[in-house]
């Protein structure tokens, strides 16, 4: 059974934002989990993802970016978002100092986490996890959003669906290859950017979600074992 705790943490110059800590009794890692551009930390996908991660021993700290906290539709600029990522990591390390720390998020949340880590290492974070890295706008292939990744100094796990219009796998695969041992790419067959698979694929969204969390768990265990 996971314990749920609502907390708030301070972001320099922006006041406080909300967060939710979900920690199972058998927690082995803690993932600082940022939401995507169009939905906050209580979106059904974020709720289900956190619950499934808890079932495999991964605690999560979900948190809000200021624009979502203030119920604005348009995301804040990176200059606002990146300090929030850093503040969330600090809040997570204080909430569970005994657990190995990871950070990442859904779509934009993952990209902002990687940009913060590229700017300077996120203290205590052992690896980054991207649930649908938004390599480019839908159906507008490009790679400029990945240029900062070579500056990230910790391992990265990319979880991408084959039907994700935000990341052409023909572009993402060579990027991960170039990053070498720092990058692991796990491709989810038939899943889109929301990790939904059509009925004809013969798999349910629950099965896709289970594939995601089992992949995260296996990868995080290997990273946690490293000195």
Q: List, for residues 167-219, the tens digit of each pLDDT value.
A: 999 999 999 999 999 999 999 999 999 999 998 988 999 999 999 999 999 99
Q: Identify whether the C-beta of residue 220 lies closer than 8 Å to the C-beta of residue 193.
A: no
pLDDT given at position 227 = 65
What are the sequence ranges of the domains in the chain? 2-225
Look up the CATH architecture of domain 2-225. Answer: 3-Layer(aba) Sandwich (3.40)
Cα–Cα distance, 47 to 179 (Å, whole number): 31
User: Average of pLDDT values for 135-146?
Assistant: 94
Q: Looking at the predicted structure, is the pLDDT value of residue 37 above 90? A: yes
Q: Looking at the predicted structure, is the pLDDT value of residue 105 above 90? A: yes
DSSP states of 19-34: EEEEEETT--EEEEEE
| Residues 91, 151, 41, 36, Cα dihedral to 10° | 160
> What is the pTM assigned to this prediction?
0.96
User: Average of pLDDT values for 163-169?
Assistant: 96
């Amino acid at each position: 059974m996971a314990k749920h705790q609502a907390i708030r943490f301070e972001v320099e110059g922006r006041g406080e934002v909300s967060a939710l800590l979900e920690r199972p009794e058998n927690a082995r890692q803690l993932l600082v989990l940022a939401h995507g551009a169009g939905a906050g930390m209580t979106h059904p996908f974020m709720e289900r993802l956190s619950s499934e991660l808890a079932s495999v021993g991964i605690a999560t700290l979900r948190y809000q970016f200021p624009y979502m906290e203030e119920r604005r539709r348009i995301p804040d600029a990176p200059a606002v978002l990146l300090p929030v990522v850093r503040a969330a990591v600090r809040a997570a390390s204080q909430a569970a100092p005994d657990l190995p720390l990871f950070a990442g998020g859904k779509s934009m949340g993952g990209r902002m986490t990687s940009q913060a880590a590229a700017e300077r290492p996120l203290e205590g974070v052992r690896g980054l996890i991207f649930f649908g890295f938004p390599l480019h706008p839908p159906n507008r292939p490009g790679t400029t959003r990945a240029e900062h990744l070579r500056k990230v100094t910790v391992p990265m796990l990319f979880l991408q669906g084959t039907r994700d219009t935000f990341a052409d796998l023909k572009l993402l695969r060579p990027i991960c290859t170039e990053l070498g041992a720092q990058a692991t790419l796990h491709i989810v067959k038939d899943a889109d950017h929301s990790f939904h698979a059509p009925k004809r694929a013969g798999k349910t969204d629950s099965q896709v979600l289970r594939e995601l969390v089992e992949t995260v768990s296996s990868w995080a265990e290997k990273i946690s074992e490293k000195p």
